[in-house]
Amino acid sequence: MAADLRLSLVFVIAAMLGGCTPAVVQRVQDHGSGEERIELSKTAFFPNDDRAAAAAALATMFYTDGLTSTGPIQVAPLLGNRTPPANLRGEFTGIAYQLDRLAFVLPPTLDAVFAEVRAGRPVLVLQKVPDWRYAVVIGVEPVSNQVILRSGKEGRVYQPLGDFLSYWKGGDNWAMVISDGSRVPASATQASWIAVGEAATLANYPKLAEKNAYGAIERWPDQVVPWVALGNARYALKDWAGAQEAYLESLRLKAFNPVVRNNLALVLLERRCLDLAEDQVGQALTGETDAALKAEYEQTRLKISRYEGPSIYCPPPDDAAAPIEYEIAPLNPETPNANRVRRRAR
């Protein structure tokens, strides 16, 4: 009996202690907002009676990113008339392509949202309040612990962080930013940003993929993958000389890369540099251990051997006497790293 009483007292005390534990209140500062108030006051605003209207929120993003002739009237016809509001987000990437922009879906964290706002980029979010609503995050207010949005008919909505998190969770924590490709989103990793460019190529927008690669090179100039991405985009554009230069720069950073050497062989085949093409695919086959990839390289070698057109002499890539044809484009001051290999060739 005494043991039972002691056990009961333990449970009562534990319950009392648990009931007295204060709730932890999240603050915007806990998610990287910083201590200072931020408001992107120059963000466009298109008031709309329908708080679930995606056209107004999406037009806000495009207009703010420099498409000043794009408003809800231009965006609305691009959206599916019968698409449920929450599903419209699946159409945003295609709409961005049509307007020469890239859509980047953020990691589903508040830190990612605030990182973009701190970098000066508004963020489109989906909320459930209780109906579906697309809103644009334009700032934070640390003192009052609120998120600042453009939403519905309100150009400045102060939403308590707890409410924002609850509404945003109802929208699957989905958030998106718009980019012309020249500036990588603050929350993007190299892999996630390059994936956006690859998707653009697959959707037949290789010029956007090239811009995506330029942005990646600016952010990660001494990394291999952005240069490979630039080569792939230019290959899709049939800019053979440009693709060659990008692949060569990637090989300068990492010489042992059979996949890139196979890609370079395909480019050299297009340029009718058959001797160099055979050399590159040979190096790819020698260095590759994956059976499936080796089979792919064998197909490249077969293409080279079956080519019936005229072959031309091409100087080796490191030949200082290479003709002016290797100067494939004028230097672009907006993308200095992307021109580094050309500048060195001069």
**Residue-wise DSSP of 21-83:** SPPPPP-GGGGT--SS-EE-TTS-----S-TT-HHHHHHHHHHHTT-TT--HHHHGGGS-TTS
C-alpha–C-alpha distance, residues 143 and 48, integer Å: 29
The CATH 1.25.40.10 domain(s) of the chain lie at 190-345
Which pLDDT band, with edges at 50, 70 and 90, does 4 fall under? low
Predicted local distance difference test score (pLDDT) of residue 204? 97
Give me the pLDDT at residue 14, please: 46
Q: DSSP 3-state assignment of 314? A: coil
pLDDT at 26: 87
What pairs with residue 126 in β-bridges?
134
Query: Are the CB atoms for 230 and 193 separated by under 8 Å?
Result: no
In contact, 136 and 151? CB cutoff 8 Å = yes
> What gap in Å lies between CA 229 and CA 201, rounded to an integer?
10
Antiparallel, parallel or unpaired: β 132-141 and 154-160 = unpaired
Chain segment 106-159, per-residue pLDDT in tens: 999 999 999 999 999 999 999 998 889 999 999 999 999 999 999 988 899 999
CATH number of 29-179: 3.90.70.10
Task: Give the closest residue to 40 by CA, choosing from 101, 142, 123.
Answer: 123
CB neighbour class for 155 (10 Å; exposed up to 12, middle 13-18, buried from 19): middle
Alpha-carbon span 116 to 112, nearest angstrom? 6
Q: What residue ranges of the chain are covered by domains with CATH 3.90.70.10?
A: 29-179
Domain at 190-345: CATH code? 1.25.40.10
Which among 220, 310, 299, 327 has a CA at the least distance from the CA of 271?
A: 310
- Give Dmax over CA atoms of the chain in angstroms: 102
Is a pLDDT exceeding 90 seen at residue 180? yes
Specify the pTM: 0.84
pLDDT at 338: 58
